[in-house]
Homo-oligomer: A and B are copies of this chain.
């Protein structure tokens, strides 16, 4: 098979276009900040940003002017508080002169998962037992009732979500894009299968033989992957199970920075526009910074697949 290994610059240039619907997924774990920052550097505009939890990365992308719309289920700085850049684009009183409100399309967690599942399974809708007597369907006409063909019962449905591009981060992949990850799996598999194009970012490129030694660990096959980027620490300040911890101090720091539009812009200038790529970002922190985020090992142990010949 042919290698899909490219730089982040190449991956974003080739696969993320103005006006696209982009899903950078990963629930707290393995969020591709490296991809988000490169999208900011390449000045993509009018993106529809889909993500269960927009987290800091979408706050930064919104602050940088990349987004026209958000599709999400929980809008916050997890464990800390608000996403202030996004709030400035969603609360009329906080809106700066010349800015417009972001479009908002809002679900619950199960609903967002269901949208990706429907997209990935090529289903016209995904049924679920949520939304009953909630006001969410009143403000989101895409949340609809569906009648069961087995009785009078009506439950709720969400429509498929098929992003133009889904970007995920993981521990390892081979050059063809066969991806293995462990720890929180979020909805990455479903978001990737639902997408028209997939960019995979990993801490480490491994030989295909490593992937094939534990095939149950594979969450996404190279078949659906368009680009593979090797980007150590590419998920910082989020984390990669076993590789580095969440930089909780930065999550708290962002709460302060992002309250102020000028401070936010200054941060983007220094840490996004001001660095060429993720390697430069990592170098700017210094190696010691990441050493203190590295946990001692907790090995899974090995299982035996058996050599059947």
A214-B122 Cα distance, complex, nearest whole Å: 32
A243-B304 Cα distance, complex, nearest whole Å: 8
List the B side residues contacting A296 at CB < 8 Å.
306-307
Among A150, A159, A297, chain B packs the most CB atoms within 10 A around the CB of A150
Interface status of A275 (Cβ within 8 A of chain B):
no
Among A123, A148, A149, A216, chain B packs the most CB atoms within 10 A around the CB of A149
Evaluate contact between A182 and B303: CB separation under 8 angstroms: yes
List the B side residues contacting A128 at CB < 8 Å.
123
Evaluate contact between B298 and A307: CB separation under 8 angstroms: yes
A interface secondary structure, majority? loop
Evaluate contact between A124 and B155: CB separation under 8 angstroms: yes
Evaluate contact between A146 and B145: CB separation under 8 angstroms: no
A298-B302 Cα distance, complex, nearest whole Å: 10
Evaluate contact between A297 and B301: CB separation under 8 angstroms: no
Interface status of A157 (Cβ within 8 A of chain B):
yes
Could you tell me the distance in whole angstroms from the C-beta of A194 to the nearest C-beta in chain B?
15
Interface status of A92 (Cβ within 8 A of chain B):
no
Evaluate contact between A149 and B129: CB separation under 8 angstroms: no
Q: Take A155-B123, A182-B303 as given contacts and tell me if A308 and B245 are in contact as well, using a CB distance cutoff of 8 Å.
A: yes
Report the nearest B residue to A296, measured CB to CB: B307
Report the nearest B residue to A154, measured CB to CB: B124
Q: Take A144-B149, A159-B150, A185-B216 as given contacts and tell me if A300 and B295 are in contact as well, using a CB distance cutoff of 8 Å.
A: no
Interface status of A242 (Cβ within 8 A of chain B):
yes
Interface status of A138 (Cβ within 8 A of chain B):
no
Q: Mark A139-176, 1 if CB is under 8 A from B, else 0.
A: 00010111111110101010100000000000100000
List the B side residues contacting A196 at CB < 8 Å.
none
List the B side residues contacting A150 at CB < 8 Å.
124-125, 142, 144, 157, 159
A123-B155, A124-B148, A295-B307 known; 17 new pairs, CB 8 Å cut-off, are A124-B151, A125-B148, A144-B150, A146-B149, A150-B157, A182-B214, A185-B216, A214-B301, A217-B300, A241-B305, A243-B304, A295-B306, A297-B307, A298-B307, A299-B304, A300-B303, A302-B302
Can you report 5 A-B residue pairs in the complex whose CB atoms are below 8 A from each other? A124-B148, A150-B159, A182-B303, A210-B301, A299-B302
